[in-house]
């Protein structure tokens, strides 16, 4: 069986590995626009800060691909997919027949419209190549502005501030990391980061970039102008849909897939940031990996033995400037459910249950105590009113946590 996978990120390589586990004879070819092997995208801020040597960012050594008999075609994208001939054509002239095809082309950084980004010192931050370029640019910058306060942006901003660079993060919303925090924990995190040198401007967006050939200053929507030599665009992502559009696949916000991760055309699958599963989740490493495991399984399985994708609860765990932050499930920002909140000066924890006491979400800032217990119980276990009350104590002992 000939398996063609487009994209060598977490979805593409995970699917390739799953196919090999099931079928030792399948011909597996992975096309990748990037010239590097599969790497940990979440560790890109460490590359820019200099705290991680480049060799440590790669998930597998080059020998792994040879041992798994997976052909990785780096620096080669696909220019044509013929459904009639079941053949793909690569940008370097290669042609391959396929029995099953996986779109794992991910997403690209979103650039808000109405701004001229064609100045030196202006970058998106999503690939290893971009990280290495920014690493060089940081050496001649005095101030960096971040457009957007997402996870990677916050981590990089904190790292650059720690190295002595002046850093300003502009967020058009009312709080930072809105998907991982509540208003209260976001405010606390903002205070902690400000103490480490990260300046924030909320409810504001970038209106204009000024400079001749290179960035000189940034103008915000309220008219404020700030001198800067570096701008990092981190305003979200948008799925890469060019190939899907050529194939006329069914598309909503991304490529629509069924419970088997198969698209609207039989034999063509999608996973990761370019895919829209039935639950609509995307944008996280863990979700992309789970989708890829199901897609890889089903591409080489008989019809009756195919596996169904079971959605995961979004779970984010990160360390920002030495501060732990964990979030999963429903954080009940609108405060419509029952919850237990505990906080001190550098700590915040919120545990959320539904009307029946089922644990549906939690977020913890400044500690990782209890994370394993809560993660294992999410959407599976119930908490009694007395336990929920006890969780309001900051020093709650999770070894004594008992579920109903």
**Are residue 193 and residue 99 in the same domain, yes or no?**
no
**Are residue 173 and residue 204 in the same domain, yes or no?**
yes
**Are residue 98 and residue 134 in the same domain, yes or no?**
no
**Are residue 147 and residue 207 in the same domain, yes or no?**
yes
Q: Which of the four pLDDT bands, split at 50, 70 and 90, describes residue 344?
A: very high
Rounded CA-CA distance 47/54 in Å is 7
Q: Which of the four pLDDT bands, split at 50, 70 and 90, describes residue 278?
A: confident
* Domain termination residue (choose one: 218, 233, 248): 233
Q: Which of the four pLDDT bands, split at 50, 70 and 90, describes residue 280?
A: low
**Are residue 162 and residue 67 in the same domain, yes or no?**
no
Mean of all residue pLDDT scores within the chain: 92
**How confident is the model at residue 354, as a pLDDT?**
95
Question: Which tens digits make up the pLDDT trace of 82-91?
Answer: 999 999 999 9
**How confident is the model at residue 283, as a pLDDT?**
63
At 298, give phi and psi (nearest 5°): -75, -25
**Are residue 141 and residue 213 in the same domain, yes or no?**
yes
Q: Is residue 114 part of a domain?
A: no
**Apex 130 CA angle, 126 and 132, nearest 5:** 125
- For 255, residues 6+ apart whose C-beta sits below 8 A from its C-beta are 103, 239, 241, 244, 249, 263, 270, 274, 275, 276
Q: Which domain holds residue 188?
A: 122-233
Q: Is residue 354 part of a domain?
A: yes
**How confident is the model at residue 282, as a pLDDT?**
62
Contact 123, 117 (CB under 8 A): no
* Domain termination residue (choose one: 200, 215, 233): 233
Q: Is residue 117 part of a domain?
A: no
Rounded CA-CA distance 125/41 in Å is 10
Pairing label, strands 122-124, 230-233: parallel
For 102, the enclosing helix (H) or strand (E) is: strand 100-103
Q: Which of the four pLDDT bands, split at 50, 70 and 90, describes residue 17?
A: very high
**Domain containing 199 — which CATH number?**
3.50.50.60
**Are residue 138 and residue 229 in the same domain, yes or no?**
yes
Question: Which tens digits make up the pLDDT trace of 237-249?
Answer: 999 999 999 999 9
**Are residue 8 and residue 100 in the same domain, yes or no?**
yes
**Domain containing 334 — which CATH number?**
3.30.390.30
Task: Give the residue among 195, 196, 197, 191 at the shortest CA–CA distance from 176.
Answer: 191
Q: Is residue 348 part of a domain?
A: yes
Q: Is residue 102 part of a domain?
A: yes
Q: Is residue 115 part of a domain?
A: no
Question: Which tens digits make up the pLDDT trace of 221-241?
Answer: 999 999 999 999 999 899 999
**Are residue 142 and residue 192 in the same domain, yes or no?**
yes
**Is residue 145 scored above 80 in pLDDT?**
yes
- For 401, residues 6+ apart whose C-beta sits below 8 A from its C-beta are 370, 373, 387
Q: Is the pTM of this model over 0.85?
A: yes
Q: Is residue 187 part of a domain?
A: yes
Q: How far apart are the first and last CA of the chain?
A: 49
Q: Which of the four pLDDT bands, split at 50, 70 and 90, describes residue 281?
A: low
**How confident is the model at residue 37, as a pLDDT?**
96
**Are residue 228 and residue 263 in the same domain, yes or no?**
no
Concatenated DSSP letters of 13-48? HHHHHHHHHH-SS-EEEEEESSSS--B-GGGHHHHH
**Is residue 102 scored above 70 in pLDDT?**
yes
Structural domain tally of the chain? Answer: 3
Q: Which of the four pLDDT bands, split at 50, 70 and 90, describes residue 134?
A: very high
Rounded CA-CA distance 346/369 in Å is 14
**How confident is the model at residue 274, as a pLDDT?**
96
**How confident is the model at residue 304, as a pLDDT?**
73
Residues in the chain: 404
**Are residue 126 and residue 227 in the same domain, yes or no?**
yes
Q: Is residue 167 part of a domain?
A: yes
**Is residue 169 scored above 70 in pLDDT?**
yes
Rounded CA-CA distance 19/303 in Å is 15
**Are residue 103 and residue 246 in the same domain, yes or no?**
yes
Rounded CA-CA distance 329/320 in Å is 20
* Domain termination residue (choose one: 233, 249, 283): 233
């Amino acid at each position: 069986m000939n398996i063609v996978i487009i994209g060598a990120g977490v979805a593409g390589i995970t699917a390739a590995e799953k196919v090999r586990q099931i079928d030792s004879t399948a011909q597996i070819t992975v096309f990748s626009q990037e010239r590097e092997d599969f790497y940990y995208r979440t560790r890109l801020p460490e590359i820019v800060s200099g705290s991680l040597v480049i060799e440590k960012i790669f998930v597998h050594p080059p020998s792994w691909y040879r041992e798994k008999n997976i052909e990785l075609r780096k620096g080669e994208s696909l220019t044509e997919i013929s459904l009639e001939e079941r053949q793909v054509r690569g940008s370097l002239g290669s042609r391959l027949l396929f029995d099953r095809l996986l779109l794992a082309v991910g997403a690209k950084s979103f650039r808000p419209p109405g701004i001229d980004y064609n100045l030196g010192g202006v970058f998106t931050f999503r690939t290893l190549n971009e990280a290495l370029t920014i690493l060089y640019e940081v050496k001649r910058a005095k101030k960096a502005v971040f457009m957007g306060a997402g996870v990677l942006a916050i981590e990089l901003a904190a790292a650059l501030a720690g190295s002595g660079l002046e850093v300003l993060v502009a967020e058009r919303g009312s709080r930072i990391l809105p998907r991982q925090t509540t208003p209260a924990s976001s405010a606390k995190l903002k205070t902690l980061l400000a103490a480490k040198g990260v300046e924030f401007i909320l409810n504001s967006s970038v209106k204009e970039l000024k400079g001749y050939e290179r960035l000189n200053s940034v103008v915000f929507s309220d008219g404020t102008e700030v001198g800067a030599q570096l701008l990092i665009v981190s305003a979200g992502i948008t799925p890469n849909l060019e190939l899907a559009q050529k194939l006329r696949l069914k598309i909503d916000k991304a490529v629509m897939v069924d419970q088997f991760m198969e698209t609207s055309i039989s034999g063509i699958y999608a996973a990761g940031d370019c895919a829209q599963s039935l639950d609509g989740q995307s944008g996280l490493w863990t979700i992309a990996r789970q989708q890829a495991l199901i897609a890889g399984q089903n591409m080489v399985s008989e019809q009756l033995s195919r596996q169904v994708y079971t959605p995961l609860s979004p779970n984010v765990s990160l360390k920002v400037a030495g501060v732990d932050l964990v979030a999963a499930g429903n954080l009940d920002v609108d405060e419509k459910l029952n919850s237990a909140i505990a906080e001190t000066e550098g700590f915040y924890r919120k545990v959320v249950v539904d009307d029946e006491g089922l644990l549906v979400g939690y977020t913890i800032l400044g500690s990782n105590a209890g994370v394993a217990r809560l993660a294992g119980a999410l959407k599976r276990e119930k908490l009694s009113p007395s336990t929920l009350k006890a969780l309001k104590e900051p020093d709650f002992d999770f070894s004594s946590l008992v579920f109903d």
